[in-house]
Amino acid sequence: MSLPMIDPSALLTTHPEAVPRPETLLEVKNLRLAFGGVVAVDGLNMNVHRGEIVSVIGPNGAGKTSAFNCITGFYRPDSGEIAFMGKSIIRTRPSKITRMGMARTFQNLRLFSDMSILDNVRTGAHAHLRQHWFDAFLHTPAYRKTERACEEDARYWLDFVGFTGDTLLYVTQLPYGEQRRVEIARALATNPKLLLLDEPAAGLNHTEKRGLVDLIRRVRDLDIAVVLIEHDMGLVMDISERIIVLNYGKEIADGAPDDIRANPLVIEAYLGAGDDEEPADGADQASADPGQPLPPAPPSLPEASATADRSDGGEARR
């Protein structure tokens, strides 16, 4: 897979390789966010390293989306530290964070409904497209050049995510799975170093899920780290190099898929600790797709510890 055939000087304010990438992209420390009495995120710590695929799992209402919203600047956390590429991004506008190289998708698709597919993806290039409105007004050569580069870029990403249809259709004319793809293409068009996907497999059929797994791997191969929230355990276990498990806003485990599978705390969280909740339903009430809500039964490895893996689970792989 080659990089887009575009003239980077026309399109980028900073060439992606001009800024050396630190090994740790994202560092979240002691993040806390409460909505009135509900503590959605309660002292979350997590790191994301360059080029890894991390999954964030947890029962419904565990605070996964809230944590994403804090990290991407949509919610202002009550306390805690978030650093992206070594810089604090607390109180930074979401658009600024995107420009720094963090892109996201939304749990319930949020494409621009009155714009064409191509325009949706072209909007992703907004941040690094150097085009003055006066050039657009006068249709100067600079405008034509930047617009052509932007369109090629958008087509490249649509191609990359495997979209083959008519790019001038409105997004609402597409089936759901295709819309999901376009949303990922749009996020990729922002030229991210870190991509956050909120339940990208929700509502996808089996074939589409396999395509998604392949897509996420190809994204990682472009040296873009991927963090995904997902309820489909099969997919999570298949793709993740590391899994972070949240419950009631706290992370209860952080480690390799096999360790997570065997972790008693995780199993307990998913089984609802035998309370009045129906055990098997914990993970998929709001998810459009049931997937495999439960991790397979633990292969009885009781020594797997939740906290031992956490602090240096990431460093260990390097």
Partner 1 sequence: MESLKTYFSGQRGVYHGIAIAVVVAVFALPFITIDAYTIQLATQALIYVLLALGLNVVVGYAGLLDLGYVAFYAVGAYTSGILTTRLGWPMWATIPAVVAACVLAGVVIGGPTLRLRSDYLAIVTLGFGEIIRVTAQNLSITGGPSGIFGIPTWSFGSWSFNDGLTVGGLFFNGKILLYYFVAIVVMVLGLIGIPRLANGRLGRAWRAVRDDEDAAEAMGVNTYTTKITAYIIGAVWAGLAGQLNASLITTISPTSFQFLQSALVLMAVVIGGMGSVPGVVLGALFITLAPELLRDVWENRSLMFGILLLAVMLFRPKGLWPATSILPWSRDKHRAKVDTKPAQARAEEV
Ligand X SMILES: Nc1ncnc2c1ncn2[C@@H]1O[C@H](COP(=O)(O)OP(=O)(O)OP(=O)(O)O)[C@@H](O)[C@H]1O
List interacting residues with partner 1 (CB under 8 A): 65, 69, 72-75, 93-96, 98-99, 103-104, 106-108, 110-115, 119, 122-124, 126-129, 131, 133, 135-137, 139, 143, 146-147, 150, 166, 168-170, 172-173, 186-187, 190
Nearest distance from residue 80's CB to ligand X, in Å? 15
Candidates 45, 36, 47, 116; CA nearest to 84 is: 47
Least Å distance, CB 112 to ligand X, is 22
d(CA 130, CA 13): 7
> Do β-strands 225-229 and 194-198 pair in parallel, antiparallel, or remain unpaired?
parallel
> Of the two residues 38 and 301, which places its CB atom closer to Mg ion in the complex?
38
Q: Which two tokens stand for residue 199?
A: 């339940």
Cα torsion 15, 19, 23, 29: sign: negative
Looking at beta carbons only, is 63 or 101 nearer to ligand X? 63
Q: Which is nearer to partner 1, 56 or 129 (CB)?
A: 129
**Residue with smaller CB distance to partner 1, 14 or 173:** 173
CB of 64 to Mg ion, least distance (A): 5
Please provide residue 258's backbone torsions phi and psi, each rounded to the nearest 5 degrees. Answer: -65, -40
Residue 61 interacting entry, from Mg ion, ligand X, partner 1, none, C-beta within 5 to 8 Å by type: ligand X
CB of 151 to ligand X, least distance (A): 35
Smallest separation, CB 270 to ligand X (Å) = 12
**127 touches, from partner 1, ligand X, Mg ion, none (C-beta below 5 to 8 Å by class):** partner 1
* Residue 60, binding choice from Mg ion, partner 1, ligand X, none, Cβ under 5 to 8 Å by partner class: ligand X
CB of 219 to partner 1, least distance (A): 17
In the complex with Mg ion, the residue whose CB is nearer, 107 or 292, is: 107
Which residues fall within 8 angstroms of residue 125, CB to CB, at 6 or more apart? 11, 150, 153, 154, 189, 190, 191
Q: Which residues bind ligand X (CB under 6 A)?
A: 35, 38, 40, 58, 60-66, 107, 286
Q: Which two tokens stand for residue 70?
A: 């804090």
Residue 254: strand pairing partners: 244
Q: Which is nearer to partner 1, 78 or 166 (CB)?
A: 166
Q: Of ligand X, partner 1, Mg ion, none, which one sits near residue 19, judging by CB under 5 to 8 A according to partner kind?
A: none
